Structure 1
Amino acid sequence: MKFRDGMWLVAEGKSLEYAEEVYSVTPREDGKALSLLCPTRKITQRADTLNLSTLTVDVGAPFDGAIFIEVTHWLGALNPGPHFDLYPAGKPETSHSSITTSEKTTTLKSGSISATIKTADHDFDIRFHATDGSKELTSLLNRSVGIAYGPAPSNLMQTSDMRNLHHYIFTQTTLGVGESVHGLGERFGAFNKVGQAVTLWNADGGTSSDQAYKNVPLWISSRGYGIFVDTPDKVELEIGSERSCRVQTSVESQRIKWYIIHGPTPKDVLYKYTILTGKPGKVPAWSYGLWLSTSFTTSYDEKTVNSFLEGMKGRDVPVEVFHFDCFWMKAFHWCDFAFDSEMFPNPKAQIARLKASGLVKKVCVWINPYLGQASPVFKLAASKGYLLRRKNGDIFQWDLWQTGMGIVDFTNPEAVEWYVGCLTELFDKGVDCIKTNFGERIPSEDVQWHNSSLSPKKMHNYYAFLYNKIVYEALQDRFGENEAVLFARTATAGTQRFPLQWGGDCESTPEAMAESIRGGISLGLCGYSYWSVDIGGFEGCPPPWIYKRWVAFGLLCSHSRLHGGNSFRMPWTVDNDDTSEHGCSKTLSKWTALKARLMPYIFAQAQDSAEKGIPLSLRAICLEFPDDPTSWFLDRQFMFGDSLLVAPVFEESGAVEFYLPAGKWTSFFTNQKKTGPGWFKEQHDFDTLPLYVRENTVLVLGKWGETRTVYDYAKSVEICLYNTKPGAKATIVDCNGTEAGVLEVGEDGYIVDQEFLTGAWHVTRDGRSGGHSKK
């Protein structure tokens, strides 16, 4: 929201007041925070203290490497929940904090970051900088903290009745020359957010708009810090778009709180951010295999489902998970958890036969948190108080999506218990994982939650956290802590704890594939380790060339799913069953086999990613190369773990241009070497793309011909050395994620510490073929 009309004028219908000076500084008793009294005019005489607003600015050290800022206008205003679930693993001690004062300043230190507050000369000036003095990060300067009213009151007497006044509070942090801003959830527009106005409000807007399914109030700066806005409320940001040298953050409230988190690297920022909001959960090895979803309009009778899976098997495409989308339930009954009896006369037996056939190992079903009134369960849920109500006591209903649908009220513990019971019945029938769709269009006006103390406006975004948490924990209770898997569309801060997420409804175009990549790398910069996409696009019918390019990209995401809207995504339906080497079926078979061979690398990297709060794939290039200015603008390529660079192809011709950061890089497919930094052009058929291995990498691959995702990752492996130096390492984990051993390159260039390897393992140098081998 813009509050000004250019540099000089106030926006029409608004009034503004700014913190003009720091009048007094009061340390907190524990010595870890300061309270600043900041009047909205400069105080030069006693009479200046009357008839004006003041802002209280609290500055504190919550844990080493982070500082919080909380700006409050009226301290007596309520601060209703919900609030983000912070420090889920426990709050760390603040062991390196202090407060020092001088004649003109007060400095709060919190580990590697400090805030220096000017206390003289009637100025408002707060500088955030590295404690060692090496770098200034950002600042709050003159006219950077304030309140706004809309419509503008003509005198303060009008504020006695706030019912028709909108009250906003805002901060403006400075943007340095050349600074870029990234993150803020799964955003499909330009990767660098400078110049954009961003509203954090979950919405079902597809991938071709400025709306987002997953709004996360965290942004990361190329200057080595991040800012997390601690509210699930609607947050509006003007990122160099009101004042080109500032990021304005505003909320309609009496207070705003945010944390500035020091890196100095973006990986460090994410690690500390996930101390606040939680580490990503770990997901089982089988989930990295291919998921087959057909179209959401499919009729799922047993003969149809078997024909899909037999077709995949006959084309050498192993399927790990089969997903039943919407119509496993009756039309108009979504989502009452009841299998359509015409398609599933005995769903438990049908699922058991499906798994016993060997065509698939796991089964997933689609759900949402709504309930259509045509289902007999609707009256039960309504009578028990399980559904969200309007303020007059009516059940909240509308005809958007499902006729007369209600919304499950997860603030009611009895509703949660009922919902979990429905999930448990699905698990009893053989369901292994859940696609948690929807949860974005949650009303914020004229509604009353069961927990009436909660703010309906804050519940709009926070609902995503509750919904996914309830389903994820039900899966954990049934299958085990690291065996739970979601396929979730909506999210907010902290939802990374309940993996995994996918990118929503994209079109079947190369432009939509690029949008999806931007969304994936942006979400990864908010602490999400796993991400997937509808391979081939959800909307429309992809031509064969787009399908094949998307298959190559999709199998190099952390998780890979074929899914369409009104058209199928089995390869033979796309190209009339072209059986040539470059047909859709052979292309899909080759890429699923490649991902299977990469599993020793992928699964080890996955454990590391979850522990550090960083993305496995799609990982923005800037996370690995933050000192390369170009890396902060790369939005058509990504890292898969710390050693593989992926550049998808967007042209039917196979032409692609990509960037390699500094160092020696080796093509995974050809073993040809390139030296960065620089831009390169290549031409690719459908079975390759620019997949480059970073120098000093020990890349462990499964044996040739391996097509499974779950196997012994230390048996009969190929150990590929890429321009390695003594000390280069690779960790191997077993299929449960437990470390099996560490391979290290010795001073003589050979692999040491290999006792845990079994089978006919071998070593190759300078790529995947030739060189020295040993058993």
Structure 2
Amino acid sequence: MKKESLLIAILIITFQFTQAQTIEKVANGIWKITYGTPEHHLPTEFKNPTAFSGLNKMPAIHVAPVDVKTIHFKQMSKGVLAEMKVDTSERFYGFGLQTNTFDQTGMRREIRTNSWTVGNIGFGHAPMPFYISTKGYGVLVNSSRYVTFYVASKGKLDERVRNKKENQKEQKVVLNTVQLYGKAVTPSNEVSIQVEGTKGIEIYVFAGPEMLQVMQRYNLFSGGGGIPPMWGLGFKYRGKATFTDKQIQETGQYFRNHHIPCDMIGLEPGWQTASYSCSFAWNPKNFPNPSSFIDSMNKNGFKLNLWEHAYTHPTSPIFQKIAPYSANYTVWGGAVPDFISAGGRKVFGDYHENNFVKKGIAAFKLDECDAADYTKADREWSFPDIATFPSGLDGEQMRQLYGLLYQKTMLNLYHKNNIRTMFDVRASHLFAAPYTSALYSDMYSHADFVRMIVNSGFSGVNWSPELRETSNDAELVRRLQTITMSAHMVANCWYLSQPPWLQYNIDKNNNNELLPNYKVLEQKAKKLIELRMSLLPYLYSAFAKYHFDGTPPFRALIIDYPTDKNTWKIDDEYMMGESLLCAPFLDSSSERTVYLPAGNWYDYNTNKKYEGGKEYSISMTLDQIPMFVKDNTLLPLAQPVEYVTPSTVFNISCKVYGNPATAVKLFEDNSSNFNFEKGQYNWLSLSWKGNNGNALRTGNFKQQVYKIIDWKKIAQ
């Protein structure tokens, strides 16, 4: 009986183990491991359909890149623990839009959405439980709970080495606190993952074989990268929060009179009758005739963007209807809509669709969806973790998801009306690649802003290192250069009466006291914005590639050059598209070190040739932009236009660097709508052979957006 009982016990344990952990291949190169009973609402519930067409074109991967059977799971009092063995030579990147750190190896990452970066432990606007290894694989935890990663940072006691003689050798006294407390003293061959408050977990593993392919698979699994409208890649100016309709119109006229390109103007909180929380109703004092104002701005070539957040003021026309679909806690006295609830989405969405989308508002800035700053106990403005929502989520889960769900609700309104848009948003989460939004921040470190461009390529999000005030001429220009070389070019002047290139001192700006050399700075700003407009076809095609094959348009050098260990620490250079390496000059600097990977590179300004695989000390004037062109590149540059319309035709000059062996493809469609999803688009293939250029258009889109007017050989 004892043997029989023991056998039954073994069978029960085996059955429980096999029930607890399952492995499933869900797509080409993607595996899902499930342990225990995961929670009902997981991030995959809210993602777009997988872009199988793109995934199936990638090399077939039949075996997982890590031995998923060896992942060890354990139920703990605090939640679920997963432990994965790793190679001590691996380096780890990602964890969403991290602010302070690039190489995450040896770090503890706590994934918590937060309005301010705290102590470099993982908090931020879009932290994500997803990392990528130099070994060519990615790991994603499908949870909206707080997730903590120990990224090869904590060594375990190994019984086999306890009694080794070398451990008994006399150790030197260490006087350096970095050595005593730093990550270098705790090497580990394990990544440990803890998910709080759950009895189950889902982990997705993404294969490569290289880091670029990992990101492609992740972005395609998310639904493919979003393609913004062409105007969404142009220049955006956000006006002062207190501006009236006339002041906004005067601001727009400034750009047109000075022939400075500008596609969008943003209205800050003063457009509403209440803004903390929001009424979503026009302020009749500042905007007495909204329809006439919108029509006037649109006729002058400006798209309008409205600032808001979701917390609904008691005076809002939708307050009574949205209250039943809201959390049990308020924010700034306003109702907090539950965007998982179909009723909440409908009330909020119908109002915005009828009152804004259909009346000509082109976009929104979705603020304050990233929750309160954990370090400010007296500023707990957000809903607490103990909040409950009608959908069944608690405040912790909703805190992580709120920015994503808010975007999804609002972007769907435009998709429903076949209108493409480009949003600003202050929080996001997993699987956001299809969203045509750019994250932004109230923080303002130039170095952090550049690092976030670099980290965005590991995250499936766009980042906006927006320009606000500066302290001197050089910083103004260097920040302008950085926004020129980013996914979303924005000057956010919500507390400035004049553009910052006319006066960067806040008090003097608001007193209309212009700088003595404002004309010079104005011309520098105009030149950079015109450069941005010349890059539109190149950037637009990079986003099309993002959509169809998952390649991030902005990405760290390590993604393109994973075997070059010199790139493993570089957090202030990045690729923009296939051929441009950007190396922003920070703050007021005029010189910096630039590492150029293997191959030849050309200074965009002077065409000077540099041999790759080397580091250079580079000096640049304020009239030179820190971009380097990869050898054998055919770079299409458009004549700048002041704004983009559906009928805009770009006159393009092609610059040829070296001897391009493959064609460059420009994506061509009506960028104001989603008809490309129905196959209405072209690819314009530009090639160079001998001393001649050739353009070949394929597809069924009838309109020609690009006209090639010139070919110029730059260098051999």
Give yes or no for TM over 0.5.
yes
Residues 313-712 of structure 1: pairs in structure 2 closer than 5 A: 313-331=256-274, 334-356=277-299, 358=300, 360-373=301-314, 375=315, 377=317, 380-381=320-321, 385-389=324-328, 396-398=329-331, 402=332, 404-424=333-353, 425-441=355-371, 443=383, 445-452=385-392, 454=393, 456-480=395-419, 483-507=420-444, 512-528=445-461, 530-536=462-468, 542-564=471-493, 566-567=495-496, 569-574=499-504, 577-578=514-515, 580=517, 583-617=520-554, 619-703=555-639, 706-709=641-644
Contact kept, 8 Å, 1:592 with 1:707, in 2: the verdict is: no
CA distance in 2, matches of 1:683, 1:433: 39
**Other-structure match for 1:273:** 218
Match of 2:61 among 112, 118, 124: 112
Amino acid at match of 2:130: L
Give the CA deviation at 1:208: 8.0
Separation in structure 2 between the aligned mates of residue 362 and residue 47 of structure 1, nearest angstrom: 71
Distance in 2 of aligned mates of 1:62 and 1:68: 7
CA deviations 1:698-751 (Å, max 9, x no partner) are 111113x644455888764211111124444343535537325211223x3422
Cα 1:702/1:681, change in 2 over 3 Å = same
Q: CA deviation at 1:635?
A: 0.6
Equivalent position of 1:310 in the other structure: 253
Distance 1:227 1:710 in 2: 42
Per the alignment, residue 147 of structure 1 pairs with 75
Q: Secondary structure at the match of 2:368?
A: coil
Letter in 2 for 1:148: M
Letter in 1 for 2:607: N
Identity of aligned residues (%): 18
Structure 1 segment 197-236 matched on structure 2, within 5 A: 197-205=108-116, 210-236=122-148
| Residue pairs, 1:712-723, within 5 angstroms | 716-723=651-658
* Alignment CA distance shift 1:651-1:378 (3 Å): closer
C-alpha contact (below 8 Å) 1:475/1:484 kept by paired residues:
yes
Deviations 1:129-175 (A, max 9, x none): 4xxxxxxx577769x432323xxxxxxxxxxxxxxxx3x21122233
Q: Distance in 2 between matches of 1:675 and 1:560?
A: 31
Q: Is the 8 A contact 1:581 1:587 kept in 2?
A: no
Assess, with a 3 A threshold, how the Cα gap between structure 1 residues 186 and 674 changes in structure 2: closer, same or farther.
same
The 1:335/1:184 distance shift into structure 2, 3 A limit, reads: same
Unaligned runs of 5+ in 1: 1-44, 97-109, 116-128, 130-136, 150-165, 390-395
TM-superposed deviation, 1:515:
0.6
Separation in 2 of the partners of 1:745 and 1:385? 63
Q: CA RMSD in A?
A: 3.2
| In structure 1, distance between residues paired with 2:23 and 2:472 | 56
Counterpart of 1:63 in structure 2 is 27
**Counterparts in 2 of 1:268 and 1:376: CA distance versus 1, 3 Å:** closer
1:560: how far off? 0.6
1:310: how far off?
3.0
Residue deviations 1:405-424 (CA, integer Å, cap 9, x gap): 32112233232222112212
Deviation at 1:85, TM superposition (A): 2.8
2:176 corresponds in structure 1 to: none
Give the 3 Å change call, closer, same or farther, for CA 83–693 of structure 1 in structure 2. Answer: closer
Partner secondary structure for residue 184 of structure 1:
strand
Q: 2:692 aligns with which of 741, 750, 762?
A: 750
Q: Distance in 1 between matches of 2:533 and 2:11?
A: 71
3-state SS of paired residue (1:267): helix
Q: 1:8 corresponds to which residue?
A: none
TM-score by length of 2: 0.82
Structure 2 matches for 1:42-61, cutoff 5 A? Answer: 49=10, 55=17, 56-61=20-25
How far does residue 334 in structure 1 lie from its aligned partner after superposition? 3.3
**Cα gap change, 1:68 to 1:759, in 2 (>3 Å):** closer
Equivalent position of 2:191 in the other structure: 247
Say if 1:709 and 1:639 are closer, same or farther in 2 by CA, change over 3 A: farther
Q: Secondary structure at the match of 2:132?
A: strand
Q: Deviation digits for residues 492-512 of structure 1, max 9, x if unmatched?
A: 1122222212231122xxxx1
Whole-angstrom CA distance in 1 between matches of 2:647 and 2:631 = 26
Distance in 2 separating the partners of 1:735 and 1:573? 38
- Indicate the SS of the match to 1:487: strand
| Superposed displacement of residue 195, structure 1 | 1.9
> In the TM superposition, what whole-angstrom CA distance separates every residue of 1:315-352 from its partner, at most 9, and x where no partner exists?
44221100001121134563121011110111111222
Query: Could you list the per-position Cα deviations for residues 396-437 of structure 1 after superposition, in whole angstroms to 9, with x for gaps in the alignment?
Result: 125xxx3x2321122332322221122120234431111112
Task: State the alpha-carbon separation in 2 of the partners of residues 413 and 68 from structure 1.
Answer: 28
Distance, in Å, in 1 between the alignment partners of 2:684 and 2:344 is 46
Q: 1:242 Cα shift?
A: 2.3
Which blocks of at least 5 consecutive residues in structure 2 are unaligned? 1-5, 156-187, 372-381, 506-512, 698-703
Classify 1:289/1:753 alpha carbon distance in 2 versus 1 (closer, same or farther; 3 Å): closer
Q: Is the 8 A contact 2:51 2:224 kept in 1?
A: no
What's the TM-score once normalised by structure 1's chain length? Answer: 0.76
Q: Distance in 1 between matches of 2:8 and 2:708?
A: 87
1:474/1:236 Cα in 2 relative to 1: closer, same or farther (>3 Å)?
same
Aligned-pair distance for 1:677? 0.7
Does residue 149 of structure 2 align to residue 237 of structure 1? yes
Larger RCO of the pair (alpha carbons < 8 Å, separation 6+): 2
Judged with a 3 Å threshold, the aligned counterparts in structure 2 of structure 1 residues 51 and 138 are, in CA distance, closer, same or farther, namely closer
The 5-angstrom pairing of residues 152-171 of structure 1 reads 166=78, 168-171=79-82
Deviation at 1:228, TM superposition (A): 1.3
Compute the displacement of 1:653 (Å).
Answer: 4.1
For 1:447 and 1:729, the matched residues in 2 are separated by 52
- C-alpha deviation, 1:248, in angstroms: 1.1
Structure 1 residues 376 and 226: alpha-carbon distance in aligned structure 2, compared to 1, 3 A threshold: closer
Distance 1:713 1:690, change over 3 A: farther
